[in-house]
Structure 1
Amino acid sequence: MKRMTSLIPLAPGVWYLPGAVNSFVVAGSGQTALLIDTGLDDAHARKLLRVLEEAGLTPGGIMNTHSHADHHGGNRLILKRFPDLKVFAPPLEDAVITHPILEPLTLFGARPPRELQSKFLLAPPSPARLAPEPGLSRIGGADVELIEVAGHASLMYAVRVGEVLYAADALFGEDALNKHPLTFCADSGLQKRSAAKLARLEGVRTVLPGHGNPTSDLAGLVAANLAAYERTTAAVLRAVQAGEASIDELLARVCGALGITMTNAGAVVLNRAVVSAHLTELLEGGRLEMKVMDNKLIFSAQA
């Protein structure tokens, strides 16, 4: 008989539920717990509620570290079971969680076609409110430290509880980095600075990425992520140096260089956004030029 998944302890009163996206669970007052990131869909949320019940815990609140659908898609089912729960999220991210159409709309640049309204880009809405500002806070009865780590999303919080750090998507496990060479970001320069900031934290014994396994090697995980982000910047720069081109032409060049094959519209708009973010970083660093030519936005290497 297959063994049922259970909460995995990281420290006293701190657990996680592994999955395509990890859920971080922090003990609150009494037998309640703060749920941090609820996964992609009802299936993950159902599993999360089941393992909480097995552990004798009841949800005391929800904290979404950012507004990407795979981190808050489970909110709906949990709120059906516990309608009085409050949902917290960073600024801007709370608006997208409340109005999820903003995610595919932003990626596509207009009302998205049906192919861009899948659960991977369009989660069910849930009424999010502003989380406290970075620092020590009590949320849903649990005491946590919120750390701003924007870049992967417009704004994002990592969550620290004592010697345990949930890095959310500021850091990815090495398997995830290898599987997705174009690591998503809204601001690639800020993504790098946020990762580097986490490396300076003292007293962290366990770090859990949003995607991947926990590790005791925070410095090593940060180094792996920074190397991956820099590889993307270098790939985008080489694509432009091969000859001036539009964003879509550069996207095709970068994917070819990194061995990426895109087979659906969602992958195209996500990877296009990554290339755009690195183009902005290179423009601001004075390494590229941007112009309009033949009714297209064209990028070229700085002379």
Structure 2
Amino acid sequence: MSLSLLAPGVHSLPGAVNSVVLEDGRGGGLLVDTGLDDAHARRLVRALDMAGLTPTGILNTHSHADHHGGNAHILKKFPDLKIFAPPLEAAIITHPILEPITLFGARPPRELQSKFLLAPPSPARLAPEPGLTRIGGVSVELIEVAGHASMMYAVRVGDVLYAADALFGPEALAKHPLTFCADSALQKESAARLGELEGVRVTLPGHGDPTDDLAGLVAANLAAYERTTDAVLAAVRAGAASVDELLARVCGAMDVTMTTAGAVVLNRAVVSAHLTELLEAGQVEMKVEQNRLVFNC
């Protein structure tokens, strides 16, 4: 598959997770997110070859495995490449076991060590702070969009915005009603802040197709995030319950069926994030009852 042109010198490699290639004007390209695994990374390397480009560096927008799982394969071919990521996210990319440990709360069982939750390690370093900067010989604007992950950067070049996972395409929102987040309040703030950007012609979400309707994409994401908050609040109002009990109620209300341990721990984290938001807003309470941590109104 060849690269798709978003603007002069700005390309994407469409996939389950999108990668972005930013030309440096000298035959090189900065890679933004490398996909889930070796298969995506091989497609990315082939696309670079077809375009006559050589990678100059890697920027991972955040530490979820589907955005940096291709790093290791690319480093085998280009061992001198430097990898950049936001604070905290760089540590997880360097030590990926931290992702399933965080989700499970302890050393994760084998089922939670799949490639979807545990990418190969790669030596990441801190990316520059948000704002205008240069990485891999390319001038970019880094925009802090924490919420989906503890830290995350969107990347803007001219009138093209790569929103990473601060925004999802409509199909992704429909497929995953419980949109993953580490901090649901920040997730909403980040999406809303992207909607205030001026002069954006093309927006590429981390999952989904490019669009010229940034405002519409932001509105769809904010509506999805609020639906989850409302579903969690309704679940608590149905009676005091633990996170796992609330997760079951929320999944029932949102027509979500979980069949793997990975899905359970991911969606459990989403419910926990929205519970924290509701706690801080004074809409729910947390207490210990009969050796159980429960939430009620």
TM range (shorter): over 0.9
Q: Is the 8 A contact 2:133 2:142 kept in 1?
A: yes
Instruction: Map 1:158-177 to 2 at 5 A.
Output: 158-177=154-173
Report the Cα distance in structure 2 between the residues aligned to 1:29 and 1:55, rounded to whole angstroms.
13
2:241 pairs with 1:245: yes
2:221 pairs with 1:234: no
Instruction: Map 1:38-49 to 2 at 5 A.
Output: 38-49=34-45
- What's the TM-score once normalised by structure 1's chain length? 0.98
1:144 corresponds in structure 2 to 140
Of 69, 73, 80 in structure 1, the residue corresponding to residue 76 of structure 2 is 80
Q: Is the 8 A contact 2:240 2:295 kept in 1?
A: yes
1:20 corresponds in structure 2 to 16
2:266 corresponds in structure 1 to 270
Show CA shifts across 1:12-63 (max 9, x none).
Answer: 0000000000001100141000000000000000000001000000000000
1:11 corresponds in structure 2 to 7
Report the Cα distance in structure 2 between the residues aligned to 1:92 and 1:216, rounded to whole angstroms.
32
Unaligned stretches of 5+ in structure 2?
none
Report the Cα distance in structure 1 between the residues aligned to 2:50 and 2:267, rounded to whole angstroms.
40
- Identity rate of aligned residues, in percent? 78
Report the Cα distance in structure 2 between the residues aligned to 1:201 and 1:298, rounded to whole angstroms.
40
2:220 pairs with 1:220: no
Q: CA deviation at 1:287?
A: 0.3
Q: Is the 8 A contact 2:9 2:25 kept in 1?
A: no
- The one-letter code of the counterpart of 1:74 is G
Q: After the TM superposition, which segments of 4 or more aligned residues of structure 1 sit over 2 Å from their partners?
A: none
Of 186, 194, 197 in structure 2, the residue corresponding to residue 198 of structure 1 is 194
1:180 corresponds in structure 2 to 176
Report the Cα distance in structure 2 between the residues aligned to 1:81 and 1:234, rounded to whole angstroms.
47
Report the Cα distance in structure 2 between the residues aligned to 1:136 and 1:290, rounded to whole angstroms.
42
- What's the TM-score once normalised by structure 2's chain length? 1.00
Report the Cα distance in structure 2 between the residues aligned to 1:114 and 1:34, rounded to whole angstroms.
34
Report the Cα distance in structure 1 between the residues aligned to 2:61 and 2:287, rounded to whole angstroms.
36
2:250 pairs with 1:254: yes
Report the Cα distance in structure 1 between the residues aligned to 2:234 and 2:20, rounded to whole angstroms.
39
Question: How many pairs align?
Answer: 297
Show CA shifts across 1:88-130 (max 9, x none).
Answer: 0000000000000000000000000000000000000000000
Report the Cα distance in structure 2 between the residues aligned to 1:140 and 1:126, rounded to whole angstroms.
17
What is the DSSP-based 3-state SS (H/G/I as helix, E as strand, rest coil) of the residue aligned with 1:192?
helix
Unaligned stretches of 5+ in structure 1?
none
Instruction: Map 1:27-38 to 2 at 5 A.
Output: 27-38=23-34
What is the DSSP-based 3-state SS (H/G/I as helix, E as strand, rest coil) of the residue aligned with 2:212?
coil
What do you get for the CA RMSD once the two structures are aligned?
A: 0.4
